[in-house]
């Protein structure tokens, strides 16, 4: 992996990650992730995950649209707008193209009912933003944004991870690349800016509760694949 190092221990995110403790470890080292790295995950479980992840992206875009509404400066509004555009016009088409290789079409994914785990997680994120401010919303989004970068970084450092002939190798490569690492780094930096302007220190207990719940919901999203 090249480029700027992903510093997971710094700033507000680093504190939240540390204080989430065992819940964070259960998420980033979930059996679904380890089997994916080893190439032993059942294809059916992965395909179900892919379908639900597309539906998750739809709600993720809505969350950033809400972030725009919750913005208090033009710079914040531009950041939120860029995120919506990146998800809708870049990430979702890439996801559709990747899923086509697994025999899954965009029409099939749009027709797929949302799993309860998908509903629980995405609506929790949206509710955090609706009931709170931009900082509450960003904290709820961080386990996904930065967690995926950590998941793959750990997998690539794990001798049990298989690279040659792994059917999930392209998925690993997508989140191991410098482009995604930069997304995670910018999210960590942005959270610090939001925290400084919106009194994160005084609100820390509530922010940690949101972060821990979002982390548990991320782990449940992995676990969802084993129910198929």
Is 144 a residue of the active site?
yes
Burial of 135 (0-12, 13-18, 19+ CB in 10 A): buried
Here the contacts of 55-58 (C-beta below 8 Å, separation 24 or greater) are 55/109, 55/112, 55/114, 55/118, 56/118, 56/121, 56/122, 56/221, 57/87, 57/91, 57/92, 57/95, 58/92
Query: Is residue 190 within 8 Å of 148, Cβ to Cβ?
Result: no
Query: Active-site residue among 91, 117, 153, 218?
Result: 218
Helix axes 178-197, 134-157, angle to 10 degrees: 150
Return the structure tokens found at 133. Answer: 């401010």
For helices 92-100 and 43-69, angle between their N-to-C axes, nearest 10 degrees: 170
Residue 201 falls in the annotated catalytic set? no
Q: Which of 76, 117, 144, 150 is catalytic?
A: 144
**Catalytic site positions:** 144, 218
């Amino acid at each position: 992996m090249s480029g700027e190092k992903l510093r997971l221990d710094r700033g507000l995110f680093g504190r939240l990650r540390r204080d989430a403790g065992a819940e964070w470890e259960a998420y980033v080292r979930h059996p679904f992730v380890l089997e994916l790295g080893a190439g032993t995950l059942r294809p059916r479980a992965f395909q179900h995950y892919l379908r639900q992840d597309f539906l998750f992206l739809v709600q993720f875009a809505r969350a950033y649209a809400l972030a725009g509404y919750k913005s208090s400066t033009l710079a914040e509004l531009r950041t939120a707008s860029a995120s919506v555009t990146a998800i809708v016009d870049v990430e979702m088409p890439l996801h559709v193209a990747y899923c086509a290789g697994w025999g899954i079409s965009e029409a099939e994914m749009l027709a797929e009912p949302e799993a309860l785990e998908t509903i629980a997680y995405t609506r929790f994120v949206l509710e955090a933003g609706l009931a709170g401010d931009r900082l509450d919303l960003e904290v709820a989004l961080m386990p996904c944004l930065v967690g995926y970068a950590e998941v793959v970084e750990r997998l690539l450092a794990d001798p049990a991870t298989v690279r040659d002939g792994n059917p999930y190798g392209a998925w690993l490569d997508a989140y191991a690349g410098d482009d995604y690492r930069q997304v995670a780094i910018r999210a960590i930096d942005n959270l610090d800016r939001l925290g400084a302007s919106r009194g994160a220190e005084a609100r820390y207990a509530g922010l940690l509760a949101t972060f821990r719940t979002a982390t548990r919901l991320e782990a449940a999203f992995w676990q969802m694949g084993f129910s198929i």
